[in-house]
A and B are shown apart, each in its own frame.
Chain A
Amino acid sequence: MARARGKAGQGSVWAAVPGLVYLVALVLVPLIIIVIFSFLSRAKLGVGVKWEFSTQAYADLLFSESLAGGRSFDPTYLQIILNSFVFALVTAGVTLALSIPIALWIATRPAERRTALIFLVTIPFWTSLLIRTYAFVIILNDNGPINGTLGWLGLIGEPIPMLYTPFATVTGLVYTFLPFMILPIYASAERFDFRLAEAAYDLGAGKWTVLRRIVLPSIRPGVIAGMLLVFVPALGSFLAPELLGGGKTSMIANVIAAQFGASRNWPLGAALSVLLLIITMLVLVGFAVTAKRVSRTGGSNTWEAML
């Protein structure tokens, strides 16, 4: 039977089916399971859940039960969420500060060198994040190259404790997410017309004014996209705080992992996951609103396309 072919360039729903099935099976279904688990009860001997409706997990987020049975407000989990927020914000801020000069520098190189430099930025993606994060354990170690060099130079007597500190966590996170900030900012900066900067200089603006009033507004879509690509995954990151932060600087993902593992409290772990999901979605909505405003004020809407 002859069938009318679709017009060239017109998407067919059938071609999208495998992808949609994949998304539903591997993203949506687990999400639904997590939400269901968060409203169930803890299994008697740990692993799994008891199929009995309960809001206990959500209560546990905010309150702790004393041995006597009384309930009192317990901010431990809220504190950890707040911590995660701070870590993610600091990470996004540091990567932003590092990425803008790098992206602008690359964007001002001759075209053929730009390609090579962007290629270099993507090199970290070649190896597993786990291995790269372990490498930082070695680097930041008391006997690692940094402390070794400083000691050899006689600048320090005792090694500076770096590993298992918040500093180590942020260092690891910044390292992990730097390319995700550089690439979108570069994409914006590459399209920036540097003759606009010349015009601003010509009109009497100094370097900082040109950066603040001409360059930054023009690369703002890239900055917003980069912030999103760094902040959201940083908020839920597990490896860097686990391997580099030690026990002292847990982020929410580590606590969730602990509930499914050692603590054997799956409903609580699921409830924490749901909370993280809600927070992430609120952040996304916040970004979307900001980006709408940006595109209304003349910025391009690259980042909206990226979402």
Chain B
Amino acid sequence: MADSTAALSIRGVTKEFATPEGGVVRALDDVSLEIDEGSFTVLLGPSGCGKTTLLRSIAGLETPDAGEIRLRGERIDDEPVWKRRVNTVFQSYALFPHMTVAQNIAFGLEMDRVPKAEIAKAVESSLAMVRLEGLGGRRPSQLSGGQQQRVALARALAKKPEVLLLDEPLSALDLKLRRGMQMELKRLQRETSITFVLVTHDQEEAMAMADTVAVFDSGRIAQVGEPRDVYLRPRTRFVADFIGEANVLPATFLSDRADVDALGVLEADLLSGTEGLTSGQPGFVAMRPENILWSRDEQGQARVVDVTFVGGDLRIDVLVGAHPCAIRTSSHVAEPPRVGEALRLEFPAGSVRWVTD
């Protein structure tokens, strides 16, 4: 049975698409995910990783080939889209151009046969919720992108869905507006305590908003967890590199140490994530740029290829053997390294993360 606290329970969902060339693409490959009631869950991944297909499967706009989707314990994957108590904020907003803002918001309520007087009240309160009071009589074409975005939100939230699905809702907004809307979405989620499931390819956006982030990699979920946990303890090389920046080097596990390509053997106390590994197992180690300590050393393993000031940080690009690596350090360092210098690299205890392919 589904967990009693799960708003959405996704089990073994698989979906394939035929490509125009006659091939088959597996957009979702046996995906399972539990989404907690009242949580803000972000499905994160590069384009084409299946995250939007999963969102559309929950909404009912795609039909999975296999697996089941439960909403508060009830199976919904065989229900038509218009019966599901979930609503979507579309990437394109999909506002009805021939209707006013108020008519757009009222549309979903009319479908539920809500009495007229109640609809009028709900439209007003929805507009107030997204801070668009007084714009009910406008047409979508008379609004800015940010305002259209708010109307799309108000239209979906007015139905009081059990789960609100958001498909890359901020991707069309400029950076400054996007930051503001991220805070706004968090506020709306807290105030309504509706479960939000948001799809994005922007890891910073995911970090800023999510209670739980599910990282997608080619149709599968690579890792699920709190953003901080996923950042600090990535399990795969893909997750390490996609969430924040990581230097990933091939390595072999030797009883409790790691033999890293071009770096040499790293002692057990530096490593994390090695539980359950067997000696001789190949894999990768991932190191965050800010977790690399450097010092000048003629015999050092790293050679500086570039030094860049990034505000308060100094970014040092080095080559370790043939592997490019990045180091972040404070700009306040007395004597920054110069291109061509050799550096010795050291790592704080537990900061070298063992990851699989």
Contacts and interface: CB of A to CB of B under 8 A. Distances in A.
Interface in A162-215: 193, 195-196, 198-206, 209, 213-214
A66 interface: no
A3 B111 CA distance: 67
A204 B108 contact: yes
Contact of A198 (B61, B111, B159): B61
A193 B159 contact: no
A215 to B, nearest CB: 11
B94 interface: yes
B96 to A, nearest CB: 6
Contacts of A199: 88, 90, 94-96
Interface string B19-30: 010000000000
B329 interface: no
Contacts of B111: 203-205, 209
A202 B98 contact: no
A154 to B, nearest CB: 42
B96 A204 contact: no
A214 B139 CA distance: 15
A48 interface: no
Given A195-B90, A195-B92, A202 B97 contact: no
B72 interface: no
B96 A202 contact: no
Contact of A201 (B82, B92, B139, B155): B82
Contact of B90 (A198, A205, A218): A198
B122 interface: no
Interface in B58-112: 59-61, 80-83, 87-88, 90, 92, 94-98, 107-108, 111-112
A157 interface: no
A198 B61 CA distance: 7
A202 B87 contact: yes
Contacts of A204: 82-83, 108, 111-112, 159
A203 B89 CA distance: 10
A203 B139 CA distance: 19
Contacts of B61: 198, 201-202
Interface residues on B, range: 20 to 34
A297 interface: yes
Give the interface size bracket for A toward B: 20 to 34
User: Which of B95, B98, B111, B112 has most chain A Cβ within 10 Å?
Assistant: B98
Nearest to A204: B111
A69 interface: no
B82 A193 contact: no
B88 to A, nearest CB: 5
Contacts of A214: 96
Contacts of B156: 202-203
A222 to B, nearest CB: 14
Nearest to B108: A203
Contacts of B82: 201-206
A46 interface: no
A218 B98 contact: yes
B92 A200 contact: no
A299 interface: yes
A214 B155 CA distance: 15
Contacts of B60: 201-202
Nearest to A298: B98
Given A202-B59, A202-B88, A209-B111, A196 B81 contact: no
Q: Quick one: which of A193, A198, A199 has the most chain B CB within 10 A?
A: A199
A214 B141 CA distance: 16
16 contacts: A195-B94, A196-B97, A201-B61, A201-B80, A201-B81, A201-B82, A202-B59, A202-B156, A203-B156, A204-B108, A204-B111, A204-B159, A206-B82, A218-B98, A297-B98, A298-B97
Closest 8 CB pairs of A and B: A204-B111, A203-B108, A199-B94, A298-B98, A201-B81, A217-B98, A195-B94, A202-B88
Given A193-B94, A195-B90, A298-B141, 8 more contacts: A199-B95, A201-B61, A201-B82, A202-B61, A202-B82, A202-B87, A203-B107, A203-B111
